[in-house]
Structure 1
Amino acid sequence: MSSLPANRANTLKAAFRVCDVAPLVSNRDIERYYVDLSKVRKTEAINAVQSLGF
């Protein structure tokens, strides 16, 4: 387990300042943050709604 950095944000404003809030426009931008969760995703609720015809 890694420890938290000593200079971590302690207010919402400080946290926002270190965030990159630019839109994700290119595939490279999107791939940077994409995490494939298909192996752990629970799809029972989605399948139930789909079977109702929504």
Structure 2
Amino acid sequence: MIAKISTDSFITEMPLIIDSKQEKALLAPFQAGRQLYNACLGEIMTRLELVGNSSAY
């Protein structure tokens, strides 16, 4: 196994100062992304269970 070379790095968090209109505009795509992710995850879990239960597997 090859060792991973790491470099020094840092993360900083800064508060996002927005008004309610901007918040609505940001929340809509995040909500859509969350729903899409959960729909895909549910489909994957269903298919995984079907594969596990199949006689060919």
Name whichever structure is richer in helix by fraction: 2
Tell me the TM-score normalized by structure 2: 0.26
Rg (Cα) greater in structure: 2
Tell me the TM-score normalized by structure 1: 0.26
